[in-house]
Structure 1
Amino acid sequence: MKEQVVDGNKKSKELMKFITKWGTLITIVVLFIFFTFANWSTSKNSSVFLTNDNIITIIRSIAITAIIAIGLTFSLTVKGMDLSIGANANFADFLVMSMFVWYGMNIFSSIVLTIIVCLVIGLINSFLIVKMKIPDMVAALSTMFMFQGVAMTYSNGGAITERMMMKSGQASVGLVSPAFRSLGKEPWIIVIMIVVVIFAHFFLNYTKYGRYMYAVGGNPEAAKLSGIAVNKYKIFAYLLSAGFAALGGILIAARVGTAQVNAGAAYLMPAVAAAYIGFSVAGAGKPNAFGTLAGAVLVGMLENGLIMMSVPYYAIDIIKGAVLAIALALTYVNKKDT
């Protein structure tokens, strides 16, 4: 009898480990099959979910979410939490569009200057966290609200579009370059996402800087005693987070061709969900690039499929929040067992 109980407990533990290790990937496959048949068109005898236009829409959404979430992944490696990524992406969206529309600048100058300015947000976060000793989440929240306001003030509370009316009463003369718009379309947006994910994976797993960042997040006191400059790597992590959030905001501008109010902020929750879901992918138990990509695929597919099923937009957040809660539960149960 005791042997049967022990055997049963062993099997249940093995099942739990399997779920925590591969549950995310299994869920992606199940959702893909479910949405394919749930959105079946009898008149066309095919799935609306699998149309080329819809797949492209999903990939675009996944790409931007994944890039912004990769930035968050870097801050998570040092056990931080950069909630300013949405505001940073939003600010980058407004900034790069203004350089095209208001000032008529070229692509290279616009993108480089936007990233440099947005890196300042990472420096501000780092200063508040490392020098002022403010908890990560509280500091990031303060900068999130700050730069949401900065973006709105900079754009005079409205969108930035081609031929918009300026304060002078004249229409702006700057235009968005077709080459820039192509960055928000396939295949370039997919290529950029793949490059970002591969870079993050290589950096975190095959360079000493990535290993040091994991060490700082795992045990900062032990890392400090080992001679690792803990504060330097925290600053570096927040700079990377700000940089990739800025890149995500630039791609939002390239995809839409305008800067809309709170366009970047809408990616905050999906990015957070993607990064945390990534903890449990393949049993990693820590922030990782490929896990974050899988999380972005899950979140993007879930949101798109629910919209196609005509689920009310206000109910979609309930489901996404539940998915994040389940992912967190699986992650921390896995940590507890190990």
Structure 2
Amino acid sequence: MMAIRAKTARPVAEVAARPIGERAARLGYRYGLVAVLVAMVAVFALVRPAFGTYANALIVLQSVAIVAVVALGVTVSMATGGFDLSAGANVSFVVMVTALTMVRFNLTGGTAILTGLLAGLLVAGVNVLLTVVCRVPDLVATLGTMFLFQGLALIITSGQSVSAGMTVDGAPAPGRYTADFVWLGSGTIASVPVPVIVMLLLAAAAYVFLNHTRWGRALYAIGGNARAARLAGIRVERYRALAYVISGLCAAVGGILLSARLGRGDVGAGDPYLLQSVAAALIGFAVLGANRPNALGTLIGALFIGIMINGMTMLNAPYYAQTFVQGALLVGSLIVSYTLTPGRRERNTT
């Protein structure tokens, strides 16, 4: 009789405990990253009081503004199930194009902005040609585009940085960075840096686009099941092309802001932004349990990276440890998104 009671009591206990564990897992997945972010801010502010000041908050926001802008474009491409590996090369290409426009050809800042946007569209056009027209897998296609435009940026500048006073054909370059263009990278509006305002505006636009328009819902439908979306009447190729155009334009805006901040065209200036933007977008999967590319999550992911790096800098951590931390954050976000998501592990094992 005791043995029978023990056998029947065990399944009952397991059934009773299972909902509690599932609820805890869901709460942890939904709010865990936000809780870690709040705790991290509290710890850094306690250890280094200067971390919690308004001035440092603006520094953090300005440091992540370009990353967030580029990451928002990557997020849109990921919404369709794609992946834009050319984002960093796009930023570098736009930096060099805008620098050449003003320094080498002595044109205005407005012209530099226009040429920068056109350069971003050129990168997007190549991605669309490869992925939509030629049906090359996204990762392979955008990897090829990345190398293509990295090389093109070196060719058009002969592998040199572009700055005022540089020698061109044995004579000083005729132009320089204009004040209105530089203002985009270092100016303020009501004490808020211009790049931060641009980041917030683009984040709001991306959130509305992805969550409250039929185009955004179509992108998510394609990312969920492209074949089902096509059967439902969605023009998959057009929407995938739209996603890469938006990604290219966001990278172009990031390149323009970076060029304005640097005040020169440095070779490979945009290369670090690929890892950071991808990390921000993937970390965003775990924000509030979204489990999909989303603008709010990407913005919080970029803030997460920026706060971590800023806090490490204030704690005098070695600069070469920052890349490791970014990689660790990326790996952790992948584990959360693809392993610890409630329900996904069961689906993957059945």
- Identify unmatched segments of 5+ residues in structure 2: 1-8
Q: Give CA-to-partner distance per residue, 1:85-131, whole Å, 9 cap, x none.
A: 00001111111111111112122221112211221111111111122
Partner of 2:174: 173
Query: Alpha-carbon deviation of 1:52?
Result: 5.5
In 2: Cα distance, 1:263 partner to 1:134 partner: 28
1:9 deviation in Å?
2.5
Cross-structure match for 2:297? 291
Query: How do 1:1-338 and structure 2 match up within 5 A?
Result: 1-2=9-10, 3-38=12-47, 40=48, 47-50=49-52, 54-166=56-168, 168-185=169-186, 186=188, 187=192, 188-332=194-338, 333-334=340-341, 336=344
Q: State the alpha-carbon separation in 1 of the partners of residues 160 and 33 from structure 2.
A: 39
Cα distance, 1:31 vs. partner?
A: 1.5
Task: Give the aligned residue type for 1:21.
Answer: R
What do residues 290-311 of structure 1 show as CA deviations (whole Å, max 9, x unaligned)? 1100000001111222233232
Query: How far is 1:239 from its partner?
Result: 0.8
Aligned to 1:43: none
Q: Quick check: 1:88–1:147 contact (8 Å CA) kept in 2?
A: yes
- Rounded to whole Å, the distance in 1 between the matches of 2:152 and 2:212 is 38
Q: Is the 8 A contact 1:60 1:184 kept in 2?
A: no
What is the rounded CA distance, in whole Å, between the counterparts of 1:303 and 1:153 in structure 2? 33
| Unaligned residue ranges in structure 1 (runs of 5+) | 41-46
CA contact (8 A) 1:24 1:295 kept: no
Q: How many residues align?
A: 330
Contact 1:24-1:294 within 8 A present in 2 as well:
no
Q: Deviations over 1:145-198 (max 9, x none)?
A: 1111111222221211122222x2222231212221121134321111111001
**Which residue identity lines up with residue 170 of structure 2 in the other structure?**
G
- Report the 3-state secondary structure (helix = DSSP H, G, I; strand = E; otherwise coil) of the residue aligned with 1:233: helix
Contact 2:67 2:273 in 1 (8 A): yes
Which amino acid in 2 is paired with 1:196?
L
Amino acid in structure 2 at the alignment position of 1:37: L
> d(CA) in 2 for partners of 1:200 and 1:100?
30
SS at match of 1:156: coil
Out of 157-166 and 52-61, give the one that drifted further. Answer: 52-61
My pick for the range that moved more, 284-293 or 21-30, is 21-30
Q: Distance in 1 between matches of 2:113 and 2:19?
A: 55
Letter in 2 for 1:83: L
TM-score between the two structures when normalised by the length of structure 1: 0.93
TM-superposed CA distance for 1:77, in Å, is: 0.6
Percent identity between matched residues is 35
Distance of 1:317 and 1:306 partners within structure 2: 12
Cα separation, 2, equivalents of 1:55 and 1:277: 21
Q: CA RMSD in A?
A: 1.6
Rg (Cα) greater in structure: 2
Name the aligned partner's letter for residue 181 of structure 2. Answer: F
Shift of 1:53: 5.2
> CA–CA distance in 2 between the matches of 1:191 and 1:317?
27
How far, CA to CA, are the matches of 2:130 and 2:50 in structure 1? 48
